Amino acid sequence: MNLEEQIQEALKGVSYPGYSRDIVSFGLVKGVAAANGSAGIDLELTTHNPEVAAQLKAECEAAVKVLDGIERAMVQVKMPPAGQAPAGGGQAKPSRIPGINKVIAIASGKGGVGKSTCSVNLACALAQTGAEVGLLDCDIYGPSVPLMMGVNERPMVSPEEKLVPLMNHGVKLMSIGFLLEGDQPVIWRGPMIMKTIQQFVLQVDWGTLDYLLVDLPPGTGDAQLSLCQTVPLDGGVVVTTPQEASLGVVRKGIAMFERVNVPLLGIVENMSYFTAPGGERVEIFGHGGGAAEALNQDTTFLGEVPIFTEIREGGDAGVPVVVSAPESVPAEAFGKVAATLREVLD
């Protein structure tokens, strides 16, 4: 490994402020050079925050000065003109997708809270109002939208060489699950995930949509960052269950939206309670945590969804409960959440 390669490797240890990802993977390092004991580094930022620039300059200098053969480090930082507004996280502001009115991310801090179940039912509920709706499954490692929406086909390619979304229950759909064989696992590193999500957003013929719902994987990793870098989100919805173990992690998801300048549209409390056969209300995971957290975060409580067998059965059968039993109590619960979400967006 020559000295310039060593410099590049050392810069991978410098993280962008507020993120776990390094400045090399973010594409901020535009050039490195080494000569006569000096290291030259060119950074190109998309933020005009001088504190960020100063911090990165100092950390880059410190990172390369420890290398054998380097006595001095000269870091040149290029920043955008003051009138050019960046998106959150130091990334260039993404362009809106022609034909798509609103893009909403559905997120959760942890798995197992029913985020995908909420996503498919909300998408179908919005479609039932007459809106044109798309649902993008960004859970690359564990895509569940194909099963829950009852679709198991490969998408066609348009004459413009774009993927044509599949459609069921009045919702346009795209998922990595449509491109995999059976239970084939996805074993990818971050850059591949980023590229796939960018293609799903920009290389899919979504047509005209009132709403594009994006079902994110749990957590705050590469998929979430890639989406925020690729398309301007009109807001995020966080799904939680009532207990503190879920709410504690949800706060990290909320903080992620804040950091990348995505408005928090509200919180949905899933698995809110269970009604026993005798009519007794059983609060298995406690109750009211979602509403309390919404109040604490000064955001909208979009509603609660109790535990119903019909919800699980609909997901397993590929027919969400708002489609299979639109007059049922569980369908009404999702309908109320969808109606509140529309009010917030409008």
The 3 state secondary structure assigned to the chain is CCHHHHHHHHHCCCECCCCCCECCCCCCEEEEEEECCEEEEEEECCCCCHHHHHHHHHHHHHHHHCCCCCCEEEEEEECCCCCCCCCHHHCCCCCCCCCEEEEEEEECCCCCCCHHHHHHHHHHHHHHCCCCEEEEECCCCCCCHHHHCCCCCCCCECCCCCECCEEECCEEEEEHHHHCCCCCCCCCCHHHHHHHHHHHHHCECCCCEEEEEEECCCCCCHHHHHHHHHCCCCEEEEEECCCHHHHHHHHHHHHHHHHCCCCEEEEEEEEEEEECCCCCEECECECCHHHHHHHHCCCCEEEEEEECHHHHHHHHHCCCHHHHCCCCHHHHHHHHHHHHHHHHHC
Q: Are residues 110 and 247 in the same domain?
A: yes
Q: For the chain, how many structural domains are there in total? A: 2
Does 117 fall in a domain? yes
56, 90, 124 - which closes a domain = 90
pLDDT at 228: 67
Please give the single-letter amino acid code of residue 77: V
Does 95 fall in a domain? no
Does 208 fall in a domain? yes
Predicted confidence (pLDDT) per residue in 67-80, tens digit = 998 888 889 888 87
pLDDT at 276: 77
90, 112, 139 - which closes a domain = 90
The two beta strands, 264-275 and 281-282, are: antiparallel
The residue segments making up the domain with residue 130 are 100-345
- Dihedral over alpha carbons 248, 144, 158, 199 (to 10 degrees): 30
Please give the single-letter amino acid code of residue 179: L
Q: Are residues 43 and 122 in the same domain?
A: no
Instruction: Give φ, ψ of 307 to 5 degrees.
Output: -85, 125
Greatest alpha-carbon pair distance for the chain in Å reads 83
What pTM was estimated for this model as a whole? 0.70
Q: Are residues 283 and 308 in the same domain?
A: yes
Predicted confidence (pLDDT) per residue in 269-311, tens digit = 988 877 777 777 787 777 778 888 888 888 999 999 998 889 9
61, 90, 119 - which closes a domain = 90
pLDDT at 83: 45
Euclidean distance between CA atoms 258 and 340, whole angstroms: 21
Q: Are residues 288 and 141 in the same domain?
A: yes
Predicted confidence (pLDDT) per residue in 300-326, tens digit = 999 999 988 899 999 999 999 999 999
Euclidean distance between CA atoms 326 and 323, whole angstroms: 6
Q: Are residues 187 and 84 in the same domain?
A: no
pLDDT at 167: 95
User: Which ranges of the chain have pLDDT less than 50?
Assistant: 83-92
pLDDT at 91: 45
